[in-house]
Structure formats: C-alpha cells, structure tokens
Structure 1
Amino acid sequence: MILPVADGAQVRAYARQLIRRHPRGLAAVLGLHALAAVSGLAAPRLLGQLVESVQHGTTRLTVDRLAGAIAAFVVVQSVLVRFATYAAARLGEQVLAELREEFVERLLAIPLSTVERAGAGDLVNRVTRDVSGLSVTVRQAVPETIIAAVTACFTIGGLLLVGPLLALPSLLAVPLLVFSTRWYLRRAPAGYLRENAAYAGMTDALAETVEGARTVEALRLARRRHERIDHEIGVSYAAERYTLRLRTVWFPFCEISYVVPVVATLLIGGWFYLSGWVTLGAVTAAVLYVQQLIDPLDRLLNWLDQLQQGGASLARLLGVANVRDDLSGPQSVAAWAGQVADRLALPAIPDSERIEARDVRFSYVDSRDVLHGIDLRIEPGERLAMVGPSGAGKSTLGRLLAGVHAPRTGEVTVGGAPLAALPLDELRGHVALVTQEHHVFIGTLRENVALARPGAADEDVRGALAAVDALDWALAIGLDTEVGAGGATLSPAQAQQLALARLVLADPHTLVLDEATSLLDPRAARHLERSLAAVLEGRTVIAIAHRLFSAHDADRVAVVEDGRITELGSHRELIEADGAYAALWRSWHGSAAVPS
C-alpha cells in the first residue's frame, strides 16, 4: 500500500495559501528584483547611445560620462540583487520551516494501522527524498524562477521601448518554446511522481532486507531478496530514464530557442538599419537586450524542471493529509463510529474506564478474519493476561483493545464510547500500547522520558524511571547524557525500560503490554513487572506474553487460540479446569505436576 498523493488542485491551492500567508515578504522580493531588473536595463540602452555618439562623432567627456553611468547602474544593480537574493532566501526558509512543521503534524496524525499497512519505504522516502527535493525547490528554484520571470518581463519591456520593430525577430523563438514546453509539462508531473514512487519501492525492499537480514540468512532467502531488489531497481531505473528522456528532448529545443532570436535580431535589425527604419544604436541595444534575455529564460526553463520535481514532492507530502481515518480498512472511523452509535446509542464521551469488546471480528485481508467473535469485558483496575501460541491473535486483539485498529464488525468501547473513534490525544489518555518495538530518540535521557509529557518536572522523570527499576543506571550515565544515534548506547533492555518509563509518565488508566518485557531476562522481567504493578495500582493492565508468570500474577487469564478466546478465568480456575491453559502451564513450568 502506498500513501495517497495530493492532486494538482490541492497543490495549487496550498501554493496560493502560502502566498497569502507572506504578502509583505513576497512583495519585498518582487519589488527588489523589479528594481534590480530596471537598473539592469540601463546598460544596453547607454551602450546603444555610446555607439551612436561614436558614429556621429563625440568627445572623451561624453564617453567618460556614459561609461561612468553604465558603471553606476551596474553597481546599483549588484546591490539590489544582493538584497533581493537575501530577501528571497529568507522568505524561502520561512516557507520551508512551515512546510516541515505542517508535514510533521500530518505525519503524526496518520493512524498507526495505516502506517503499518503502508510499510516503511514510502514513508521514509517522503521524509527524506521528498523533503530534500522540496527544500531545493523552495530555497533555490522558487526564488530563481521569480528572479528570472521579473528580469525577463522588464527586459522584454526595455526591448519594446527601443523599438517594436526590433522586438519582432524575437517572436521566432516563441513557437519553439511554447510547443516544446507544453509537450514537456504534459508529461513531467506524472513522470516525477512515478520516479518518486519507484524510489519508495526500492527503499522499502532494501529496508526490509536489511532489517530482516538474519531471517534472510537463516531461511536462505538471499536469491529471492536479490531478485526483489533488482526488480525494484529496474522499475526505478525505467522511471528515471523516462524523465531523463523528457529533458533530453526539451532542453535542445530550449537551446535553439535562445540562439534564434539573437541571430534573427542581428540579421533583421541590420536590414532595418540599412533600410533606414531604425538607428544603429537601437539595433545595438536590441541585440544586447535579446542577449540579456537568454540568461533569465535559461534559468526560468532550467528551474522549471526542478519545479516539476518539487511539485511532485509537495504533492506526496500534502497527500499524507489525505489519509482517511481508516483503522480497519474500507470504512473510516467516523463512519464506523456513526454506525455503532446509531445502532447502540453509544455516548460520544466515555462515562467510565471499563473496556468492552462485543462480537469483535477483524481481518487484515478481506474475507480472512483473524479474530472471530471476541467477547471480553475488562473492569477498571483489573489485571488481564492474554496467553496462547504464536499466531493465535493475541497481539491483534491487544491492538484493538488499545484503539490502534477498529474491528471489522462488532465494537470495542471504553466507558461505552467507541474506542477507536476517540481523538488521538484523548485515546492515549485512556489506553496506551507498548510492544517489543522501542526507539531511543536523539536527545538527552531526560528528554527521551519527557516525550510522554513535555515540561514534566525532574522529580516526575526520576519517579517514572524508578517505577521501571531504571533510575540507578540512568543516574549512573546521567540524565543529561545524549543518547540515540551518535550518543551513548543503551542496551535493548535499557531501551525497553525507557519506553516503559514514558508510559508511566503518560499516566494512562489502561496499559496494553504486548510482550513488553521480552528483551529482559526472566528475573529482571519479573522484577520490572512487580515494580510496574506497585506503581500502577488501580489501573488496568492487559499483558500479552509467552512467559506465564504474568498469567500467574494476573486477576484473570484469557487463552487465545485460532482467533478465539477459548478459556477465561483466574490462574487457579484454569489450572483446575485442566484445559489448554493447564497444558501450557505444565509445558512452561517443565513439570508434570501442576503448581497452584
């Protein structure tokens, strides 16, 4: 699954919105470049006058005055260009900062289920390649295009003032430029979108192979992974070759379009002069203006290619906002919540902390349910352990109970309100999920913990670390020590404790622990869970684990097999029932005797 891409209308609307946000900055950039362009028009006109003066006889004083005036206008133009470039760069940085902030907001608003289905490649490509491409566009392409457009307009105006007849030869380049550029623009946007999407596929294949290197080696999948990567590289190569072909066709037409007006102005202007229709000074100025027009046109057309790439990157970044609030697949959360509310008259705001699942069915692929008719009620403050063989559906059920997914049918509620329909901030105040996956962010140890509650006091951070038995080693390395990439290295167990400390600081009333202590040795894991139990007394804990000591300590145990809850009760009750749980306990405990 590839995340959506914004259409052309959305990109143009967003560009207009950016312009309306910075009217003064844009006016300053345009005004300064306009003044710079006007000052640049003086030199060709003065050179034309100099040619006429020499033709009809002149004095050294006249030549010196004209040369001094040309030099003065060149200096004035240089100063104006300097300030205009600075103003454009400053405006570009402001716009780029806003784009990055808004993209991060959109990115963090994507439902976790959508991120999981989309895979890492497309998302990583957007936050790296697309942001980088858009950065070049905003910092360089847009300002250069504005400069080129303003300069070209004023240069054409200067050419018309010299003599409309001398502007006619320049029109010979218009058909070449218009038709070749239209041909290019009809094909370039779709081509660059395909190129970026193909690069995302290649990134995804490489990331999967690197992350699963041990599995690839163990199962001898190297050849298949090579074939997959070669295929993705081939698709990316074909996409880039297509856009390269567009440029190799378009650029030569542009180069011809630059030469034709200069040659035509010299030839036709010379004929006009011989016919007595224009002066030699006018022909000189016109040729210089046409020659001067080449640079802004060349920059305009060259940066137009970068604008197409930037437009494709912007469409992909804006497209993140088009992700539907889709936690289960085809239907949106809003529609699902509306159906549930209409059918059961459920409240929009939870009236308690009780979590309940009713006839829950869920599928990752249409018509292939992995959960079948789950009914479960978890009271506030209860400790529930979910056990069962690998692949039985424990983690999937945990994600539904945490609001990561919404059920295909049935409902999961908290205090009577549909869980997955709650706003994300409110949802995470009720239920939080911690899995085997964890991340250490670049920053200090204190900042890593305080991510869960920005602005948390130092004693709160220390208390959260103490709750998960991590305070001693945290103080040993220092709370202000930089961790993450390039910083101090934490062991997997320490990183996992750090993730759990964030949860303690976030203070949700329900924790779903999906084998959250799997990287710790059994003694450390048991000690950690007891510490958590003491700190989280009165809160609901749903623990998913293969280590059955969690089940032994829980109020109730749910045995999940083949997507169904086959047994539900306390440890003692299930042992006495001598069913699947008792068999699991005997197998794990390594004894034929069944301890109580």
Structure 2
Amino acid sequence: MSKTDKTEKNKNSMATFFKVLRFIGKYRFLLVLSVILAAVTVILQLYVPVLFGYAIDEVVAAHEVDFTRMGFYLSRILVMIVFSGIATWIMSVINNRMTYRTVQDIRARSIRHIQKLPLSYLDGHSTGDIISRVIADTDILSDGMLLGFTQLFSGVITIIGTLLFMFSKNVWITLMIIVLTPVSFFVAKFISSHSFQMFRAQSDARGRQTALIEEMIGNQKVVQAFGYENRSSERFAAINEELRDASQKAVFYSSLTNPSTRYVNNIIYAGVALAGAFLIPGGHLTVGGLSVLLAYANQYMKPFNDISSVITELQNALACATRIFDLLEEEPESPDPSGTLDDVKGAVDIRNVSFRYEEDKPLIKNFNLHTEPGRRIAIVGPTGCGKTTFINLLMRFYDVTGGSISVDGKPITEVSRHTLRGSYGMVLQDTWIKHGTVRDNICIGKPDASDEEVIQAAKISHSWEFIRRLPNGLDTILYEDSLSQGQKQLLCITRVMLCLPPMLILDEATSSIDTRTEMLIQEAFDRMMQGRTSFIVAHRLSTIRNADEILVMKDGSIIEQGSHEELMAKGGFYQKLYNSQFVKVSE
C-alpha cells in the first residue's frame, strides 16, 4: 500500500469520526456531564495512591506504627472508593443513554433518507446490503461508541491527572515516563492505522452475506424448484470464507495492539522501580513515595492499554459508520417543487421524451403522446421494449433525460411528487403486502375509510369472497406468505377501488388471477375507468381490445398507434403479436 493510500484512508477514518461527533452534538449536555463525571472519578481514584503512600510512611520501624493516622488514611480511601464507584455508575448510565439515542437517531435518519433516495439507487443495491447497513452496522457502531466513551474520556483524564500527581512527587522520574511513553503510543497507532481497512472489508463482506441470505430465503421455493440449493450453498460458502478471512485478519492484527503496548509499558514500569530504588538511599524519595510513583506509573500506562483495546472496537465501529454515512450521503431525489395538481382532469402530454438507465444505452427515444381526459391507453410490445419504464416516468420514479411530461398542462417536474402520485391509482404485477391487518393493507391510500367503504371496494374487486373466510375478516393479521399471489393481487386492486383516483395505471394488474375472476374484475375495471384516464400495460392482448388507443412499442419507440381494429387492418407488428397468441401449433 502506498503512502498516499494510507494517508487517504486515515483521513477517511477521521472524517467518519467527526461525522459521528456531529450526531452526538445533539446530546452535548450529556457529553459534558460525562466528561465532568469522568474527571471526578479519575481524581478520586488518583488520590487513593497518595493516601496509601502516607499510610505506608506511618510504618517507621519495627513496632513503631501510628495506627491512628493509618486508620485515618484508610477510612478516607474507603470513602473515595465509594464515591468513585457511584460517579462511575452514573457516567456509564449517561454514556449508555447518549450512545443508544445517537444510534436511534442514525437509524431514523437512515430510514427517512432511504425513502428520499431515487429508485436508481435502490435498484442498484441489494436489499440485504441496505438492511445490513441500517441494522448490523449501527449495532457495531453502538458497541464501539459505548466502549469508546466509557474508556476514552476516563483514559485521557487519567493520563493528564496522573502526570500532575507524579510531577508533585518526583520530576525526573515523571519526565522519564513521559519520554518513554510515545513508544507505546506509536506501536498502537501503527497497528490501528492498518486495521481500519481490514474491518471495512469485514463489513462489506457481512453486507454481501446478508444480501445473499435475504435473497435465498425470500425465494426458497424457486431455489428448491430448480435444484439451486448446492450452488446457493457454494455462493454462501465463498462469501462466508471471505468474511472469515477478513475477520481473522482484522481481529488478529488489532489484537496485537494490547499485548504490544503492555510489553512496552511493563518495561517503563520496571525502569521506574529501578530509578526509584536508587533515589531512596539518598533521601530523595521515601518508600511510600516510591509506592505512589509505581502506582501512578501503572495507572498512567493503563489508559494507554485500555485505549489501545478501545481502538480495535473504534476501528471496527468507524468502518461500519463509513458504510452508514455512504448511505446517508447518497444524493436524494431532486428537490420537490411546491406546485400541486388540483381538480385533475387527466390530460397527459408527452413530448419528445427520451430516457436511458445507463449513459451509453438509450432506451426510450422521441416518445410523443397526447391523451385526452378519460381515454384508455393500452401499451403493448415485446419484453424489454420500455413499457414499465414508461410507467416509471409517468409516476416520476425516474426523471426523463430529455423532453417533458405534463398533466393538465402542468409539467410534472413543477408539481410535488406526492401530489402527482396521489393523482394515479396503480396496480402492478408485483404485489406488496405489509405486516398488518387486511384493513390496514387496503386503506394504505385512504387511511380514514370506513368499514362500509372498505367492504364495498372489496366486493367490487371480488376480494371479499376470500376476506370474509379469513379467521378475523378485515382484522386478520397478514404476513408475507399469508395469502396466495392471486389473493395479494386482488387486495392491491381493492386499494385502488377504495381510492378512485382521477387516473389509473394497470401494469399486468390481473396476471396472477384465474380467467373467471379476471373477467369479473375486468368488468369492475371498465366501470372504474369510465371518465378516468387509464394507462394499461398488458401482455394478453385480448384484455385491451376495448382500449381507445393502443401504443405498440419496440426498442423504446412507438412503432404503431391506433385502435385494435385499425392496427389489425394495417397488418403490421401488432397484428403479428395479436395472432401469435391464438395460433394453434400443429403437430
């Protein structure tokens, strides 16, 4: 690793540390109180060796012990130990509260930020990795902060306080300790500067492992159906091996810190004992004074040992914090304008729209469409032609790279996303059921709906038949696997039936529903679409014959446009698509 790379990584580590401090700044009162209590604890603990020294010096010679004075010093030692213990306990409580509140704030901000991130970020990162950043990485940050605050403050104050007390006893021995101490510090710094990137690699591997576990467990039926168990186990074993290797290196390298610094500190301790022994015969130091210096030398070096142990946890915590802040510093969606859509009629204008997911791979080119209010627009074409991308652009999940889209004459970039999306009712091929009651799942778009409204919408969408058979009806708690795919899709249709927005988007809305139920729902959709601008994406072309206009897409462009009869009469690409669904393959 080059010197430049090392410097850059150290800068990144310090930058992450200051970012964490900015979060802690909200609790600066608790921080100041913790520092004060740490100082009180250290001063009380540091005064104990002085009292022990005085007590030892009361032993003048054989049978010449002043037990009264010795008892006085020992009683004061007991009082100081009790008060020091109380202060330490209060400091630990404060550090716990400060740490967990800070982590709570980081998690809350992470969730809020994820909801503001563009869809492109969520599409480009696995769900498991994002979950790992919000849950596992913040847990490790919490542990590192807790250990760090408890020992770092006390350690620094102990070092300063010990120096002051040692100078009051013997200047030369104190200077000797100060001169030798940086050796211990440089050893710890050398090891910790190398362990940060190892912990970062460990966190990255852990994130990829979480993503794989989430992927495999969430799709276990597919894994088993296609006999993918062994290959998924091999993938897991490879990542697990990488995680084991990264963890071993990080832990081994960082674990060298404590024994290395202890070795250096023991040499310093021996030097103090030797130097003090030479000073006693000349009267420059008493036996009690030497015992005090040895106690202080040990206490002075102990924080360096503790801090070196803390550094291991802090490096791990900072590596995890870096991943968290990488998420928090991702650019959110472009600012939401304050404009609104009022009394939406449903006129949609699309002018010269182009779009690309990747800079060098255009997908939609020169897309133009004008839709009068209340018309039904069907969008058909082969897989990958841009149908769902077009829907994403209508809802502003992605912004166009060229051209403009307007609703009732207002460009959608000039109105808030909430207003725009609230004007559409959307039923997708991919269903989503949240953990909660059936009622909660239906009322997502209209939380104040009455039971009568919910039941009416369920009857129109033909979901009431299975809802009323559930153990608690609308109050039944749903989990991800509580319902079949078709039942989930019926619930998603019921959501839209309840809201009745001015515009509709149906993207393969009945793909998981049996043919008989589909015919009934199609009738309900026909009634619901009366007077509402509707965009219908369908692969089964028989379901969109009654559309006012059909857009035939291929390679991101509209190649044909018209009613079903007009397109069939042209004998072009649409006719081939339509007929291909009804051709009987002869033996």
- TM interval, shorter chain, is 0.7 to 0.9
Q: Aligned to 1:85, what secondary structure does the other structure show?
A: helix
Q: CA deviation at 1:407?
A: 3.2
- Contact conserved, 2:396 with 2:417, CA < 8 A, in 1? no
Change in 2 beyond 3 A, CA 1:325/1:40: closer
Match of 1:492 among 485, 488, 506: 485
Q: Deviations over 1:62-109 (max 9, x none)?
A: 333322222222121122222221122122222121111111111111
Q: In 1, are the aligned partners of 2:107 and 2:134 still within 8 Å (CA)?
A: no
Shift of residue 16 of structure 1?
A: 3.9
Q: Per-residue deviation at 1:110?
A: 1.0
Shift of 1:503: 4.7
* Aligned match for 1:482, one of 477, 480, 500: 477
Q: Relative to structure 2, which stretch is displaced further, 285-294 or 307-316?
A: 285-294
Which of 153-162 and 227-236 deviates more? 227-236
Distance 1:502 1:295 in 2: 64
User: Which residue is equivalent to 2:78?
Assistant: 71
Q: Which residue of 2 aligns with 1:361?
A: 354
Partner of 1:515: 508
RMSD: 3.7
Under a length normalisation based on structure 1, what TM-score does the superposition of the two structures give? 0.83
Partner residue, 1:344? none
In structure 1, C-alpha distance between the alignment counterparts of 2:432 and 2:238, rounded to whole Å: 31
Matched, 1:299 2:306: yes
Any conservation in 1 of the 2:158–2:299 contact (CA below 8 Å)? no
Alpha-carbon spacing, 1:533–1:450, altered in 2? closer, same or farther (3 Å): same
CA drift of 1:215 comes to 6.6
The aligned residue for residue 22 of structure 1 is: 27
One-letter amino acid of the counterpart of residue 504, structure 2: L
Counterpart residue type for residue 426 of structure 1: T
Q: Give the one of 176, 190, 195 matched to 2:197.
A: 190
CA gap 1:21/1:124 in 2 versus in 1, 3 angstroms: closer
Letter in 2 for 1:372: K
User: Which residue of the partner structure matches residue 330 of structure 1?
Assistant: none
Match of 2:375 in 1: 382
AA matched with 2:475: D
Distance 2:498 2:166 in 1: 70
Query: Are the counterparts in 2 of residues 399 and 433 from structure 1 also a CA contact under 8 Å?
Result: no
User: What is the CA–CA distance in structure 2 between the aligned matches of 1:313 and 1:504, rounded to whole Å?
Assistant: 45
Q: Distance in 1 between matches of 2:154 and 2:455?
A: 55
From 387, 393, 399, the counterpart of 1:394: 387
- 8 A contact 1:134–1:314 mirrored in 2: yes
Structure 2 partner of 1:142: 149
Contact 1:29 1:87 in 2 (8 A): yes
Residue 581 of structure 2: SS of its match in structure 1?
Answer: helix
Looking at structure 2, the residues matched to 505 and 282 of structure 1 have their Cα atoms a distance apart, in angstroms, of: 85
Q: Which residue of 2 aligns with 1:98?
A: 105
1:289 aligns with 2:284: no
Post-superposition shift, 1:232? 4.3
Are the counterparts in 1 of residues 113 and 332 from structure 2 also a CA contact under 8 Å? no
SS at match of 2:35: helix
CA distance in 2, matches of 1:177, 1:505: 70
**CA drift at 1:580:** 3.5
CA contact (8 A) 1:388 1:546 kept: yes
2:195–2:250 contact (8 Å) kept in structure 1: yes
Residue of 35, 39, 43 corresponding to 1:34: 39
The CA deviation at 1:464 is 5.3
Partner of 1:528: 521
| Cα distance change of structure 1 residues 355 and 157 upon mapping to structure 2, 3 Å threshold | farther
- Partners in 2 of 1:218 and 1:445 — Cα distance? 30
Residues 91 and 205 of structure 1: CA distance in aligned 2, closer, same or farther (over 3 Å): closer
Q: CA deviation at 1:222?
A: 7.5
Task: Give 3-state SS (helix, strand or coil) of 2:474's partner.
Answer: coil
The aligned counterpart of 1:316 is 323
Q: Distance in 2 between matches of 1:96 and 1:572?
A: 62
In 1, the alpha carbon distance for the partners of 2:272 and 2:240 equals 49
Q: Describe the shift of the 1:220–1:549 C-alpha distance in structure 2 as closer, same or farther (beyond 3 A).
A: same
Cα distance in 2 between the residues matched to 1:48 and 1:36: 20
Shift of 1:489: 1.7
| Equivalent residue letter for 1:494 | Q
Check conservation: 1:357, 1:412, Cα contact below 8 A: yes
| Counterpart AA for 1:64 | G
Q: Which moved more, 1:249-258 or 1:106-115?
A: 249-258
1:171 aligned to 2:166?
no
Corresponding residue for residue 539 of structure 1? 532
Aligned residue identity for 1:399: N
Find the residue that maps to 1:358 and give its secondary structure. Answer: strand
Q: Would the aligned equivalents of 2:437 and 2:478 in 1 still touch at CA under 8 Å?
A: yes
Q: Distance in 2 between matches of 1:453 and 1:144?
A: 52
Shift of residue 28, structure 1, vs aligned partner: 2.0
Compared with structure 1, are the counterparts of its residues 179 and 478 closer, same or farther at alpha carbon in structure 2 (3 Å cutoff)?
A: same
Across the two proteins, how many residue pairs are aligned to each other? Answer: 570
Structure 1 segment 80-91 matched on structure 2, within 5 A: 80-91=87-98
Shift of 1:219: 7.5
Q: Does residue 548 in structure 1 map to residue 553 in structure 2?
A: no
Q: Deviations over 1:196-242 (max 9, x none)?
A: 23333444455555666677778787887677656545554554454
Q: Does 1:263 align with 2:270?
A: yes
- Structure 2 distance, partners of 1:152, 1:460, is 70
Q: Which amino acid aligns with 1:480?
A: D
Structure 1: gaps (5+ residues)? 327-332, 339-346
Gaps in structure 2 of 5+ consecutive residues: 1-8
Q: Using the TM superposition, give the Cα deviation of residue 309 of structure 1 relative to its aligned residue in structure 2, in angstroms.
A: 2.0
Distance 1:72 1:379 in 2: 86
Q: Tell me, in whole angstroms, the C-alpha distance in 2 between the residues paired with 1:147 and 1:507.
A: 63
In 1, the alpha carbon distance for the partners of 2:306 and 2:494 equals 54
Contact kept, 8 Å, 2:353 with 2:364, in 1: the verdict is yes
Q: Distance in 1 between matches of 2:487 and 2:309?
A: 52
Does the Cα contact within 8 Å between 2:339 and 2:416 map onto a contact in 1? no
Could you tell me which amino acid in structure 2 is paired with residue 281 of structure 1?
G
SS at match of 2:543: helix
Judge which range, 173-182 or 307-316, deviates more.
Answer: 173-182
Is the contact made by 1:429 and 1:509 (CA closer than 8 Å) also made in structure 2?
Answer: no
Asked if 1:412 is matched to 2:405, the reply is: yes
Quick one: structure 1 residues 588 and 196, their matched pair in 2 at CA, closer, same or farther if it must change by over 3 Å? Answer: same
- 1:55 is paired with a residue whose SS is strand
What corresponds to 2:4 in structure 1? none
| 1:148 shift after superposition | 3.6
- Cα separation, 2, equivalents of 1:463 and 1:142: 58
SS across alignment from 2:143: helix
- Give 3-state SS (helix, strand or coil) of 2:309's partner: helix
Residue by residue, what CA displacement relative to the aligned partner does 1:424-453 show, whole Å, maximum 9, x if unpaired? 433422446543323332333333344445
Aligned AA (1:483): L
- Whole-angstrom CA distance in 1 between matches of 2:465 and 2:240: 49
Question: Does 506-515 or 225-234 show the bigger shift?
Answer: 225-234
1:244-281 residue CA offsets vs partner (Å, 9 max, x unmatched): 45314434322223423332222222222233222222
Residues 244 and 137 of structure 1, relative CA distance in 2, 3 Å threshold = closer
Kept in 2: contact 1:404–1:420 (CA 8 A): no
Q: CA deviation at 1:348?
A: 6.8
Q: Give the drift of 1:467.
A: 5.2
Partners of 2:130 and 2:123 lie apart in 1 by: 10
The structural deviation recorded for 1:395 is: 1.9
Contact 2:257 2:308 in 1 (8 A): no
Larger deviation, residues 359-368 vs 455-464? 455-464
**For residues 306-356 of structure 1, what are the alpha-carbon distances to aligned partners after superposition, in whole Å with 9 as ceiling and x for unaligned?**
222222222222222332357xxxxxx57xx99xxxxxxxx9766864333
CA distance in 1, matches of 2:170, 2:443: 70
Deviation at 1:284, TM superposition (A): 1.1
